[in-house]
Amino acid sequence: MEDRPMLVIPYATQTGNALDAAERLGREAERRGCRTKLLSVDDYDPRSLHQEVAVIFVVSTTGQGDIPDSMKVFWRYLLQRNLSKHWLEGVHYAVFGLGDSGYQKYNFVAKKLDKRLLDLGGTAIVERGLGDDQHPSGYEGALDPWMLLLWGSLSQIKPNFFPRGPEFLIPDWKLIGQPKVQITYHKIDKKESQLSASSGLGCPDMQIERTRPMYPGKSSPDRSRPDCFLKMVKNLPLTRADCGRDVRHFEFEFVSSAIKYDVGDVLEILPSQDSAAVDAFIQRCNLDPDSFITVSAREVDSHLRTPVDASTVPIKLKTFVELTMDVSSATPRRYFFEVMSFYATAEHEKERLEYFASAEGRDDLYQYNQKEQRTIVEVLEDFPSVQMPFEWLVQVVPPLKRRAFSISSSQSAHPNQVHLTVSVVTWTTPFKRKRKGLCSTWLAALDPQDAIYIPAWFQKGSLPPPPQSLPLILIGPGTGCAPFHGFVEERAIQSESNSTAPIIFFFGCRNENDFLYRDFWLSHSQNDGVLSETKGGGFYVAFSREQPQKIYVQHKMRENSQRIWNLLADGAAIYVAGSSTKMPADVLSTLEEIISKESGISRESAVRWFRALEKSGRYHVEAWS
């Protein structure tokens, strides 16, 4: 058996989805008798790539066509000029990408990787697969049919990968085996428990630092400790109560020393989960919330990279659940239903779970699960005969992820603070279930009078801070205005002591009731402010619902096409922020139209002109779903 080749599956993930897809590929390969090796791209030595027999890459695209952090070193290696066009001759490869067709550069990373592997002499096993978050079944809508093609093609090219053919399937119950996670329970008496609390483990930063690295595979142990803790000092509604949406302005102070950040940066927050949901999960799974545990990966699964050493300190089971397992808001993956089926003792539940876990049941699972956004607790309560071991729950429950928000303040204007503009997310499912966004709802409910310390991390966003000499064209409808609030604050501070380049800003909302930061924008567009026409700037607002015919930011852009073109001719940069649905594509099309009209060139030439603008670093987009 050991003479048979190994199918290598490197994955590059930013949020965990590519890991989920890669694990699914690995499981399906193993069911067919194929030996597999699954690992993160940053654990893979690119120098050995030319020695592989077959490699299946699973890569996600982040932001506007950006490479996941874990893939950057690997990608730089592949771009070396000394690699010949024959370097990968004899290597068979396949690429499956995860992206969102709502973004302009849909699955850009998978497309670039596929082309580069081909240029280096690799042979594609099948045409690249492109998973789409917009598909009713998510990325699995493309992954299922792509895998069938993959196994068929690979078995023809290299039959020894599948000793009994690609159609042969090992029964699932033989593969379920042991979970990849190991739980160790510790006997700690009351005195030791009090000692742990007094030694700092009761502090939020120590709890996070000790607990999150224990979570296998999905967390980042090297950055588990928060950059800082914040205390909310202001929680202000920006929209009127009867407008149908709730947008808040939050101001936070640094609890300890301030962290330096730039305008355009992103703040990540680890939200607190609903305590009732956590208690319901623990009770439903018959767990002891007060037991002390350590969590580690079983040694055979080196790709999980969980640090296990003598310094690992036991932590309460309830604390582990609260800080690592998203039991109150995340929707489970298909594999969750597959594992549940092994532990269902009621026959009708077992049959239903097996159907949900199958390719045939994918659409019905979508209707039941994703469309209704059922939580882990709700799914478990729907199948009362299932009692899954805690080891399996840790492995298959989605991790509690940090939520990212564009910073809407300038540190020059607020030295010891950071501000956010947040839409409080609520929606109703097809079966009339009321749903709320975990982090935004939690933040909105916080009282600045309470001493709640919020764990936070700072990251570079997609909008680099502009120098004061750079003219700016800003386009940010709705909460897309958030980073530009910081840009204008920063430019206003700079203008007090130096001359600054002009800014024009296009903002959009439905009507006066959700005109975010109205007084702020108007004050800076008057009295020689940085958005005033006397300073070469401008502020233009599009109300989509104030009149019979809808008016969006692109309509205001067309009305001011000459001003946009003049600023571009003066070297201006364009910044776009907001929803990833239609807005970025509509804005891009409008900009190409303006360039064609004002410069007198063809639309095709305008597209090329704009691509050159983008390559020169003068076009930036930050969009979110």
Binding residues, by number, are: 13-18, 60-63, 133, 403-406, 437-440, 479, 544-545, 550-554, 586, 624
- DSSP character for 514? G
**Residue 280, pLDDT score:** 97
Report d(CA 270, CA 114) in Å as an integer. Answer: 35
- 457-479 per-position pLDDT tens digit: 999 888 999 999 999 999 999 99
Percent of the chain clearing pLDDT 90 (strictly above): 62
Binding residues for FMN, by number, are: 13-18, 60-63, 133
- 176-225 per-position pLDDT tens digit: 666 888 899 998 765 555 444 433 334 555 677 777 777 765 444 345 67
Tokens of 525: 């567009």
Tokens of 524: 């800076």
Q: Which residues of 381-400 are buried (b: 16+ CB within 10 A; e: fewer)?
A: eebeebebebbbbbbbbbbb
Q: What is the pTM of this model?
A: 0.86
Q: Are 97 and 110 in contact (CB under 8 A)?
A: yes
**Residue 267, pLDDT score:** 96
Q: Output the CA–CA distances (angstroms, integers) from residue 249 to 157, 231, 256, 482, in the order listed.
A: 58, 14, 22, 9
Report d(CA 359, CA 496) in Å as an integer. Answer: 63
Report d(CA 32, CA 161) in Å as an integer. Answer: 9
Domains along the sequence of the chain with CATH: 6-170 (3.40.50.360), 179-202+274-399 (1.20.990.10), 220-271+401-461 (2.40.30.10), 472-624 (3.40.50.80)
Residue 215, SS3?
coil
Of 58-62, 114-118, 538-542, the least confident: 58-62
Q: Is 446 exposed, middle or buried (0-12, 13-18, 19+ CB in 10 A)?
A: middle
The pLDDT of 437-453, averaged and rounded, is: 93
Binding residues for NADP(+), by number, are: 479, 544-545, 550-554, 586
Report d(CA 7, CA 56) in Å as an integer. Answer: 7
> Phi, psi (5° rounding) for residue 220?
-115, 95
User: Which H or E run contains 378?
Assistant: helix 376-382
Report d(CA 498, CA 429) in Å as an integer. Answer: 53
**Residue 308, pLDDT score:** 43
Residue 197, SS3?
helix
- In the numeric block, the tokens 């206003």 are attached to 492
Q: Which residues of 121-144 are buried (b: 16+ CB within 10 A; e: fewer)?
A: bbeebbebbbbbbeeebbbbbbbb
